Structures are given as C-alpha cells and as structure tokens.
Copies of this chain bind each other. A is one copy, B any other.
Amino acid sequence: MTPTASSHHGTPERKRVGAIVRIAALLGAFALAVTPAAALDALVQKQTFTLPSYTTVGGAALRDVKVGWEAYGTLNAEKSNVILITHFFSGTSHAAGRYKPTDPAPGYWDAIIGPGKPLDTDKYYILSSDTLVNLNAHDPNVVTTGPATKAPDTGAPYGPRFPLVTIRDFVNVQKALLDELGIAKLHAVMGPSMGALQAYEWATGYPEVVGRIVPVIGSGDADGWLVAWLDAWASPIRLDPNFNGGNYYGRAAPKAGLTQALKIVTLSAGAAPWANTTFGRKWAEPGKDPAQDMANKYAVEAKLDEIAAARAELADANHFLYLVKANQIFAAGGDVGLARITAPVLLISSDGDLLFHPSAIQRTADEIRKGGAPVEQVKISGGRGHLDGIANIQEAGEAIRRFLDK
C-alpha cells in the first residue's frame, strides 16, 4: 500500500473547500504541509486520505480506498499529542469547528474541543476520521468509500457487490492514515456510539498504539437488543420499491424508505423527556387538529419527518445497510474479547439510553476490568437518551479533561 494524504483542491465541487483552505492559509494556520493547526477560531478543512489498495477483514481486495479526515490543534514535534476521534452511525468526521463562517452549527463535539476546552487544542492534536461506508455519502464534506463509490474497474458505483466491512476495517484504514502521517502512538481514541465501538476495536486490535480510550454511549459488543434495533432501523429501506436490492444508482433512489429509516434512528436515539419538553402534544399546524383528520399531524411527528428528510438528502441507503451490518456483527477483540484491552478506559454513558442499555455498559466495564485494565465510569443525565453522548457531552467535560491529562 502506498497511501497518500492530500488536501482537496482542483475538482470543481471542491472550489468552496479550496477557498476555505486559502482563508486558513491567510490566517497562518498551517504548521505542517498536510495538517491544519488552526485553533478553532480558524476554519476547519476536510482532507482526503487515499489507500491504493486495501484488503478487508473478510478478504475482499479494494483499490483506491479514500476516507476524509480533519484535525484541530497542532501536532507536536514528537507526534505524541494525538487524540483520534471516531464518529457515530449517522455522523461524519466533522467533530468541531466550522468549514465556513456562515455554517449554522459547528461539529458535533465542539462543546468539548477547542482552546482551553477538555480536548484542549492548545495541547492536543485532535484528528477526526470519516469511516468506510459513511452514511452521508452525498455530503460534499464527506469522503468515504462504499457501495455509492464508483468502482475503479467499471467506473460505475459498486452497489451491493461492495464487500461487507467491519468496525475493524474502519480502524485498519485509520491506522494506515496514521502510518502515513508518521503517528506511531495515540494519546487517546475517543468517540460516541459507533465511535465508541471503534475505540474498543482500537484498544483490542492495536493495544501497543493506544494510550487510553474514552468510549461514549457504546458497549464492547452489539447485544441482542441492539442487533434487533439495527434491523428495525433498516426495514423501511427494503420496503421502498426503489430499493431494488441495492441496485438503484443512476435511477430513483429509495429516498422515502431511507427517510423513514432515519426517522426511527432519531426517535430511538432520543428519549421521552426530550420529546415531551420540546413538543408535547403541540399540533404541527395551527387550525389543523390531529383529532379532526387522519392526515393532520402533531408537531413531534412533523419535526421528525423534516429532520429525517433533510438527512436523507445527503445519505445513501446502501451505506445505511452496510453500517447496520458492521454494527450488528461488532464484538471487540474477537474470541479474546475486551480482556485484551490494556489501556485505561473512561466509559461515559447515559442511563436513559434506549439503544445501549445500562446492562450492556456495565457488562462492558466488568469485562474490561477482568482483563486488568482500569475503568472509570461517568454518567450523563441530560434527558436526551442515547443522544446525551453528543448533545450533553459537556456534562462529562471535566472528567474527560482529568482523564486525558493524567
């Protein structure tokens, strides 16, 4: 493998990103050729890592594998201050900052990443990576390889002939990126939900590389409960007549099914206090009482539909199904399991989490401790359920800071 890490520029759809690169350069934000060292008052830049060839855990050979990444802070001379951020199921590598000043919101963990924040960019180099089969395949700020990617041999999207990939494959591609950047050790690996799964996989798969992990709202394997939910999420996609067994590129995509799938994701990642405080029994439209007509909706229904429809615009249905599979078959450390972990663990969870049940979190902590690694546990109680690990991560901010600075 001869991987390359390069900035985006040149192609027409990357012009805006190119402009951002220029702005960042004007701000004097580049410490190294390929790694932006901008403090988060500067803009964030997406970069592309290319692996000319990669063989999956299942033995499938892929050519020209690309994933996106971005970074916040400055890589020190020893390259010893790296924290790797791994993203959640429907997330991307955009963990902090903004691509342009007018972005409506910063990356998902901006509350804890930045100068003086728990993941202190004055101290750490925070590197965040897109995964293979990233859900948001059609987001111009996402770089990924999956069924929607044009296969080098045919020039047409892989579709369902793309090989099954695992969380370990996500981690192996990240490892190749770090090798390319000359980073031999990680101060920490940290991520929420599917990002936690990657953190466990890093700690079991590359124990010599990983200094510590902070898995957030995620357990060391997918239990039966999570397996069933992932399947329930996927079911609307297969019902959409446009799905056609995954062969829909170049024709109408199964957007209605994908929208309903994303709606169930959002709902099951939520919690009753959130729905009742934010919406309660409010109607979607004044004058349209839901009790008067089968078609009249409540605000909570309309808002979930709206969120899901917006997300479906940038997402790909096959990528959704490949992510479901990767999450379902996840069991960190294979036969040896979590006892393989040697790195200290800060395990952050929410007891209101419907997807990763408190019993799964506790079992994970217990199994890691059996192997001898120290586990510290912190609970968030923000009323958002699973999403507490993203929306209310600042509740665990000082615990994270202490753990990282140890």
Interface residues of A (CB under 8 A from B): 58, 160, 164, 166, 221-225, 227-229, 231-232, 235-236, 239-241, 256-257, 260, 263-264, 267, 271-273, 275-276, 278-282, 290-294, 297-301, 304, 321-322, 325, 328-329, 331, 354, 357, 359-360
Contact = CB atoms under 8 A, between A and B. Distances in A.
Nearest to A164: B294
How many copies of the chain does the oligomer comprise? 2
A275 B227 CA distance: 9
A273 B223 contact: no
A208 B208 CA distance: 74
A227 B260 CA distance: 15
A267 B236 CA distance: 15
A280 B359 CA distance: 13
9 contacts: A58-B292, A223-B281, A228-B300, A232-B267, A235-B236, A236-B239, A272-B360, A290-B328, A294-B325
A275 B359 CA distance: 12
Contact of A223 (B160, B228, B257, B276): B276
B239 A273 contact: no
B227 A272 contact: no
A281 B225 contact: no
A294 B281 contact: no
Contacts of A279: 224, 228
Contacts of A276: 223-225, 357, 359-360
